[in-house]
Structure 1
């Protein structure tokens, strides 16, 4: 049996296959290869840029897409849905809830000279997003390096125009916004198709040899700001209160002035009327004034003595009948 199999194999081996079978096999292989290169996949965070014979053709959305085979269409995948970032002065090893950073110091990136000739150790990051994949790929050679160079140049210029106290303390946010605006303006002039999401200072410290002294200055600045805020709070509490008291006193004084003026005017009117009556009937008016005066004075006296005008008799006390009636009533 084995001899028959070997004989049959040698017989087939000695025969030449027909030409049409070779051509058909090759055509099948070419067709399979072309079919395998006609489709490509675009990820959820990607945009496909298609070049046809070296010229821009179209952009494709995420999903399975078709292209012409044999290198007629070339596809470049760009991560447009992801926020990318460049780090300066530090490197992230493992991002996550507890991000770990590389222990290696990168002082060639972080050491920066301020406007008052002080050296600061500035660590920062630039986060950006690609909003025009075609420009990002073909307008500038090596866009990532370009973004790093522009960011580093702008940071050094902005920090170099600021005082060290501003960089270390209260002006970090304002400086970051200024850097973001200037970097975006330069990238727009280059037509890079990149949008700066944010520029954030990771850490800003003085150099190691003078760090303790700068930390003391920073604490003093913070204490000063705290005392200023406390003084403003006390000012906002005391000044309105004092203004309210002053306004109350002014209103009381104005009311008292109106009362005195009205009383004086009433007294003056009463005196004028009385003077007119006196001029008309002097004796009657004089007698009436005397009686009215005695009527108001006598009830206030505890003891009353009646004295003869000639001095012939001794003083005669007037019996206080009203008091005796009150005592009897008890």
Structure 2
């Protein structure tokens, strides 16, 4: 169809254009503005967070967890900082997926883990720094790029501490000491730079010699472990034998002391008894002598089986009295 014929049949000026209802224009636009106003004026802070409110880029206030309001349309902006959550930074490795079988990688992290010890040996040190944000204002505004700065400080402190120790201390007996000292020095730096970070723990995740010398270091570690095992075994035997010997020696000493005390008391008693007899003897010698004689016979005679009494005044052929025969005849008569 020619264009002129189309224009003659259809007049575009006469086609009606649909118009919006007056009610929609009257209430829709204000309602949309009101909805945007409400949405941009309300925000929620999580239970582990704190909200830092900025008004036109300037710090205004901090808000606790819960529902809060602010000026809309970007006049006030809220930055949420997780102050109750434990955060961590990994050095020398990176966790790809955490779980029962966590996956790690060291790609791109080799430079920060390779260190020089105090005796000019190399060691590969992988560590984790666990920390919390305790001051949201300092964390956001005192230091620029605080996370990058914190990583640089951690690496510098670890290199300094490792550089003051031998490779054997770093690999074996001094690992916990290194971790404790790194935590202390790193916290001092965080306080000095006002980062708002509290270092909770530094863990040396893995400390190994470089791969070319790893077999030799493994032999050294095995020898060290064997040494510790023998020392612990000897200490165990020592703890068994020495206390028992000390107990037996103490028992023997106590028994000897008791025997000595008993003998001493007996000697003192005998001495006191003798002195008492002596005093009585000095007063009446004959009476005391006779009394001692009779008391001695009273103790001895009951233990003698055969008793023979000799009378000096008897003039017969056998001047003796056999008490045993007399007793036997008396038994027969009975």
TM range (shorter): 0.7 to 0.9
Aligned equivalent of 2:71: 67
- Tell me if structure 2 keeps the 8 A contact 1:131–1:195: yes
- Structure 1 gap ranges (5+): 18-23
Residues 197-216 of structure 1: matches in 2 within 5 Å? 197-216=200-219
Offset at residue 147 of structure 1 (A): 0.9
Cα distance change of structure 1 residues 306 and 139 upon mapping to structure 2, 3 Å threshold = closer
Offset at residue 327 of structure 1 (A): 9.3
Local SS of the residue matching 1:123? strand
Residues 263-302 of structure 1: matches in 2 within 5 Å? 263-283=266-286, 285-302=288-305
Q: Kindly indicate whether residue 176 of structure 2 is the aligned counterpart of residue 166 of structure 1.
A: no
Aligned equivalent of 1:92: 95
Q: Which moved more, 1:180-189 or 1:241-250?
A: 241-250
The correspondence for 1:133, drawn from 115, 133, 136, is 136
Q: Hey, what's the Cα distance between the residues in 1 that align with 2:196 and 2:32?
A: 39
Residues 185-196 of structure 1: matches in 2 within 5 Å? 185-196=188-199
Q: Could you state the TM-score of these two structures normalised by the residue count of structure 2?
A: 0.72
Cα distance change of structure 1 residues 283 and 53 upon mapping to structure 2, 3 Å threshold = closer
The correspondence for 1:120, drawn from 112, 120, 123, is 123
The correspondence for 1:149, drawn from 148, 152, 171, is 152
* Residues matched between the structures, number: 315
Q: Which moved more, 1:71-80 or 1:312-321?
A: 312-321
Q: For residues 32-59 of structure 1, what are the alpha-carbon distances to aligned partners after superposition, in whole Å with 9 as ceiling and x for unaligned?
A: 8974983464562554433333322233
Q: Kindly indicate whether residue 324 of structure 2 is the aligned counterpart of residue 320 of structure 1.
A: yes
Q: Kindly indicate whether residue 178 of structure 2 is the aligned counterpart of residue 175 of structure 1.
A: yes
Q: What root-mean-square deviation, in Å, do the aligned CA atoms of Structure 1 and Structure 2 show?
A: 4.4
Local SS of the residue matching 2:258? helix
- Structure 2 gap ranges (5+): 1-5, 20-25
- Tell me if structure 2 keeps the 8 A contact 1:47–1:62: no
Cα distance change of structure 1 residues 161 and 308 upon mapping to structure 2, 3 Å threshold = same
Q: Could you state the TM-score of these two structures normalised by the residue count of structure 1?
A: 0.73
- Tell me if structure 2 keeps the 8 A contact 1:85–1:126: yes
